[in-house]
Amino acid sequence: MTTTSSLRIVEDIADARATILKRAPLGEPVLAPPVQASIDELWGAPTSPAEHVRKILAAVEAEGDAAVKRFSQQFDRSEYDAIEVSGDEIAEAFGQITQAQHDAIAFAVQRVRSYHATQMQHAPTSFTERGTGMVVRPLRRAGIYMTGNEAALPSSVIHTAVPAVVAGVDEIFGVTAARADGTVNPLKLVAARLSGVQRIFRASGAQAVAALAFGTETIPRVDKIFGPGGIFVTLAKQQLFGRVGIDAIYGPTETLVLADDTAKPDLAAADLLAQAEHDVLATPVLITTSRRMAEAVAAEVDTQLATLEREAIARAAVERGGAVVASSIQEAVELANEFAPEHLCVLVEKPEDVLPLVRAAGGVFLGESSPEVLGDYTAGPSHVMPTGGSARFASPLSVLDFLKVMSVVALSEEDLARLGPYAAELARAEGLTAHARSIERRLEGR
């Protein structure tokens, strides 16, 4: 292993699995000392993050708007009177952004809508056949957590809300942190309105999730909550699952770049850093078939790091990741499948030949013309993707997440006569006499 670069290089595969490609198990998060101290002060005793969230949820369930407003204003250091963002505020937001920003948001909305409209054509549909079938219905109400505050993320709003609209959800509500003066970043308001969010509320963190789950005097209760957020949003979603639907548990972002000897080191480095600048806990990983390529990318990472506004954040993330040298493309893909990254960028001579081998990734980005960053904004598929290795069993956010399937049984008397005796026999074998009699009474009455 070399330590001369910010991007460590590992050639032994067993070592790579034990270090770069090994995720720590999910557990109680460790907060920054100032944050933990403020939580302890709030509750007057040492309080774990999970218990902090439990207390907030209980307060919102008991107090409604008052608790939502109290916690949101305290944590966001903001001041405002009305929880709901007014139509006038949203209209004013359109005049507070540039025409270029408006056009970019509108273009992204159109691209994401177009992709998910096509996806909807391939979604499950209602059917009835031989007395049984299913009915597909959209959710009635969806809640969108509009992540970000001063650092607005309008793309996250677009990529979460638009699939809901395409799926046919009746009511879509957004919750968002307010700035110090009580206003909401206009980029988020414009993105929400153009994406189809119908009502927007000033609420953040665990208290916002609780409001959507329980309902308050102002914020309606929803059927399912969508969108990534910080650690307290994540803990709230975990604790409320079952009381309300949730899309997924999202962790820090991660990108795995798969590169052979034909890749351009500067592009591979750029793709790694694009995700590294999100968060010190982000995980950028390179798997390559060439030691020479690994060293070239590592050198490019160091060069490009020095040019970033968020250099310190990106550097910390890079030090969490690393580069793995595999013996072949097949071994590289095998390692990638084991890691099951949120994003898999394939920079090889024939990327289309690699796709059939990929079994576990949130999104696959094939070739130099398909950078993951394009997926963040205007490619089309929702950029809300499974993290933490959950791509082994989970999928990116899609119209399917906003649909429900109800089984339908509508059998004839002839079907009852044919199926009933077997069902009654099974019921008696299980000791469920009332089950058996429910069928036998019908058969006796024929």
pLDDT at site 5: 76
Tell me how far apart the alpha carbons of residues 176 and 72 are, in angstroms, rounded to a whole number: 10
Tell me how far apart the alpha carbons of residues 192 and 199 are, in angstroms, rounded to a whole number: 9
Mean pLDDT for 86-110 is 98
What is the tens place of the pLDDT at every residue in 392-424? 999 999 999 999 999 999 999 999 999 999 999
Share of the chain above pLDDT 70, in %: 98
Q: Which residues are catalytic?
A: 342-343
Indicate if the pLDDT at residue 99 is higher than 70.
yes
What are the E-state strand segments in 87-194? 127-129, 132-138, 141-146, 171-176
Q: What is the mean pLDDT of the chain?
A: 95
- Topology of 9-26+251-393 in CATH? Rossmann fold (3.40.50)
Three-state secondary structure call for residue 386: coil
What are the E-state strand segments in 103-244? 127-129, 132-138, 141-146, 171-176, 199-202, 224-226
Nearest Cα residue to 106 out of 118, 121, 94, 123: 94
Tell me how far apart the alpha carbons of residues 94 and 99 are, in angstroms, rounded to a whole number: 9
Tell me how far apart the alpha carbons of residues 69 and 83 are, in angstroms, rounded to a whole number: 7
Tell me how far apart the alpha carbons of residues 314 and 6 are, in angstroms, rounded to a whole number: 10
pTM listed for this prediction:
0.93
Token digits of residue 338: 């084991």
Indicate if the pLDDT at residue 258 is higher than 90.
yes
Tell me how far apart the alpha carbons of residues 125 and 121 are, in angstroms, rounded to a whole number: 9
Q: Which amino acid is at 339?
A: F
Report residue 150's pLDDT band, with 50, 70 and 90 as the boundaries.
Answer: low
Burial 19-32 (b: 16+ CB within 10 A, else e): ebbeeeeeeeeebe
Tell me how far apart the alpha carbons of residues 95 and 103 are, in angstroms, rounded to a whole number: 13
What is the tens place of the pLDDT at every residue in 188-239? 999 999 999 999 999 999 999 999 999 999 999 999 999 999 999 999 999 9
Backbone angles phi, psi at 165, to 5 degrees: -65, -45
Tell me how far apart the alpha carbons of residues 268 and 257 are, in angstroms, rounded to a whole number: 7
Counting every residue written for the chain, the total comes to: 446
- Delimit the CATH 3.40.50.1980 region(s) of the chain: 9-26+251-393, 87-246
Residue 224 and residue 314 in contact, taking contact as beta carbons nearer than 8 Å = no
Residue 285 and residue 257 in contact, taking contact as beta carbons nearer than 8 Å = yes
pLDDT at site 2: 41
Can you list the pairs that 416-425 forms with residues at least 24 positions away whose Cβ atoms lie under 8 Å? 416/442, 416/443, 417/443, 417/446
- Topology of 87-246 in CATH? Rossmann fold (3.40.50)
Q: Which amino acid is at 127?
A: F
Mean pLDDT for 313-335 is 96
Angle subtended at Cα 363 by Cα 366 and Cα 296, rounded to the nearest 5 degrees: 50
